[in-house]
Amino acid sequence: MTSWLLLAEAGAQEGGLFDLDATLPLMALQVVLLTFILNALFFRPVGKAVEDREGYINTSRAEAKSKLAQAERLEADLKAQLKDARQEAQTLVVNAEQEMDRLYRAALAEATAAANASREAARREIDAERSKAVAELDQQASLLSDQIVSRLLPTP
């Protein structure tokens, strides 16, 4: 390389607007050589790291999209299950209310029948006691009337 530099210095003429000598190709060669060296030492590892990171980001993004889609499917399934459960619960509540109403009406009818039977039995018992009391009063009235007649009329 030093020989090129000496040649470049020996044949150079000074004084023009542009000096086209061996310096230009030497600089171009240095730029290309520096580019290859920098590319090999710095840019390739940095580029590989950037590509690895981009690949990681792309796979993470794809996984996130798939997990989001799965979460949305699960959410839709859970909403459907919740809707079905609510409808089932509402049906159970309506059935329970109907059963309760039926049991209430049956108990009310049974209580009404028992009250009517009790009232009828009490009425029959009162009628029997009244009849007994009337019969007893008739008997006592007969006795009293006999006593009154026997006291008022002398016996012959």
List pLDDT tens digits, range 76-86: 999 999 999 99
15 in any annotated domain: no
Contact residues for 7 (Cβ-Cβ < 8 A; gap 6+): 22
Give the residue with greater pLDDT, 58 vs 16.
58
Average pLDDT in the 40-69 region?
91
Check pLDDT > 60 for residue 13: no
The dihedral through the CA atoms of 63, 64, 65, 68 has a sign that is: positive
CA angle 42, 46, 49 (to 5 degrees): 150
| Tally of structural domains, the chain | 1
The answer, yes or no, to whether residue 130 has pLDDT greater than 80, is: yes
25-50 average pLDDT score: 86
- Integer distance in angstroms from the first to the last C-alpha of the chain? 190
Model confidence at 42, pLDDT cuts 50, 70, 90, reads confident
pLDDT attached to residue 18: 61
Residue 156 forms part of a structural domain: no
46 token code pair: 């940095």
Q: What is the CA radius of gyration of the chain?
A: 62
- Residue 29 one-letter amino acid: L
Q: In this structure, is residue 31 part of a structural domain?
A: yes
pLDDT at 39: 82
Q: Percentage of the chain surpassing pLDDT 70?
A: 85
Residue 144 within any structural domain of the chain: no
**Nearest by Cα to 22 from 33, 11, 30, 31:** 11
Q: Is residue 44 part of a domain?
A: yes
pLDDT(51) > 70 = yes
Query: Measured between alpha carbons, how far is 123 from 127 in angstroms, rounded to an integer?
Result: 6
Residue with tokens 């690895």: 52
Provide the domain limits for residue 99.
25-122
- Mean pLDDT, the chain, rounded, equals 86
Asked if residue 88 belongs to a domain, the reply is yes
On the CB side of 39, how many CA atoms lie within 13 Å of its CA?
Answer: 6
- Tell me whether residue 37 is in a domain: yes
Mean pLDDT confidence for 124-153: 89
In Å, how far are 104, 120, 125 from 116, measured between CA atoms?
Answer: 18, 6, 14
Tell me, yes or no, whether 20 lies in a domain.
no
